Every structure is written in C-alpha cells, then in structure tokens.
Amino acid sequence: MAQLKSPVVVLGARSDIGRAIAKRYAQAGCSLVLAARDAERLAADRADLETRYQVAVRTADFDLNHTNPDRFFDDVGEPPGTIVMVAGMLGEQSRSEAEDAEAALVMQTNYTGPARFLLAGVRAMKHQTDGCIIGISSVAGERGRASNFVYGSAKAGFTAFLSGLRARLSQNNIHVITVKPGFVATRMTEGMALPAALTAMPDEVAKAVLAAHSKRKNEIYVRPVWRLIMAVIRALPEAIFKRLSI
C-alpha cells in the first residue's frame, strides 16, 4: 500500500462507518483526529486505537450544524493530510415532506454542512503537497426517487460538490474521492429490510476507502454491482421511472 498522508481527520467518527475507517487508517500507521459530537464518548475508541496500533489519536468536538468550520481546523492544529467526511443522516421522507425543519436538517446535514467543512479543510490544507479529501456520498444521489428524494437530492448536491472540488484541486496535489457505499448494515439502517447481496458491512466500506486512497481513485462504488444498477436506473425514461415505487 502506498504511504497515506496523516494526520487523518475523521468527521463523524462515532458512526459505524467512521469507526471502521478510523481503525483501518490506524492499522496503516496513520495518526488520527476523531471528530464527533460529544467527543468525550470517543475516549474508549481513542485508547483502543492507540494501544492496539501504536498511533497518536486525538479527539475533537464536531457538529455539522453548529461548529464553526474554520475554527474547528484551527483547533486541530497540525494541518490534516487526509480528511474523511462520514457525517450524514438518512432522515424520514414522510417527515421531510411534512415538516420544514426536518427537510432543512436532512439537506444541511448531507450537503451544505459537509461541503462547508470540506472547504474549510481545503483552506487548512493549503500548504500540503499530497493531501486527500474523501467524501461518503450515496447512490441515492444519482436520480431522485419518490421514496427518498429529499435525502437523495442532498446527496446529489454533495456528489456534484465533490466532483467540482476534485477538478478545482487537480492542480494543487490534493486528491478528492467520492465514495458511494449503497446499502450498509449500520445502526442508521437497523430494522430496514436490506438485500444481503447489495448490503456492505462498515469494515467493507472502510477497506474500500483505503484502497481507493492508495490507488488515487476518483469515484468508487463499494460493491461494484451498484454501478450497473445505477446505470440502469439512470437510463430509464422518465415516463417509466415516475411510475416505479423505488
């Protein structure tokens, strides 16, 4: 595996995917900043990673909707070598349709919040010569589906943001990776009937993230079958697509 730039800042480190990603980077020998709301609750994760992998680990308070992005990176101190944006929320489509505040929260947590923090991260990385930014987006952003179009539209915005950021930074030696996991078995999806063949585990996502980082991929689907599935969904004529209950 190629040398990975550290420290690695994991934004959303208390999520199942965030924890798995932090563990994989620690295994690769990277120092870490674990960022989440109520960061003191990450004390056990910090101690475990430091003891198990002999890497430096810090924790930091981070709230997409209330923390000042530039101040957050100032407080981190050392310019990050890698930033992984994991934070997000699924929300409930019915509530988003019925309640303005819920719709705004889903949109902000999945698009504007992550985008603002990554822009601040770029400013913090301005002197890096080989940095990497990784955003966890979603296949839901590839076409607006009736069952989750509020969440999907926010993820579509985030995917477009990452694409533009990748192009913008292509001459600055900061690489940007878009990750589309598909279904993942996490606390957020607990209780949902997910098809086993299409559902990844958090560590599967983490392994794919590190492989993409090492190989400098631009965009990945954690399970390649999703690339075919989404190609079919994108190709459906609108007259047919809008009749589907997906």
Mean pLDDT (the chain) is 93
68-96: pLDDT as tens digits = 999 999 999 889 999 999 999 999 999 99
Of 155, 160, 163, 18, which is closest to residue 83 (Cα–Cα)? 18
- Enter the tokens of residue 130: 């080989």
Three state DSSP letters for 9-34: EEECCCCHHHHHHHHHHHHCCCCEEE
Compute the average pLDDT of residues 215-240: 95
Buried b (16+ CB within 10 A) or exposed e, 183-212: bbbbeeeeeeeeeeeebbebebbbbbbbeb
pLDDT greater at residue 246 or residue 46: 46
The per-residue pLDDT for 37 is 93
Residues found in the chain: 246
Of 112, 101, 95, which is closest to residue 155 (Cα–Cα)? 112
CB 116 within 8 A of CB 41: no
Radius of gyration of the chain (CA): 18
The per-residue pLDDT for 88 is 92
Does pLDDT of 99 surpass 60?
yes
For the entire predicted model, the pTM comes to 0.94
Which residue blocks in 89-197 are alpha helix, DSSP H?
93-98, 100-107, 113-124, 149-168
161-195: pLDDT as tens digits = 999 999 999 988 899 999 999 999 887 777 777 88
The residue behind tokens 């992998």 is: 53
- 25 catalytic? Reply is no
Question: How far apart are alpha carbons 246 and 235 in whole angstroms?
Answer: 15
Name the 3-class secondary structure at 245: coil
**Segments making up each domain of the chain, as ranges:** 8-241
CB 13 within 8 A of CB 119: no
The per-residue pLDDT for 185 is 85
Name the 3-class secondary structure at 134: strand
CB 246 within 8 A of CB 195: no
- Enter the tokens of residue 13: 């480190």
Q: Which entry of 25, 53, 111, 151 is annotated as an active-site residue?
A: 151
The per-residue pLDDT for 13 is 96
Does pLDDT of 116 surpass 60?
yes
The per-residue pLDDT for 3 is 66
Query: CATH says 8-241 is which class?
Result: alpha beta
The per-residue pLDDT for 1 is 45
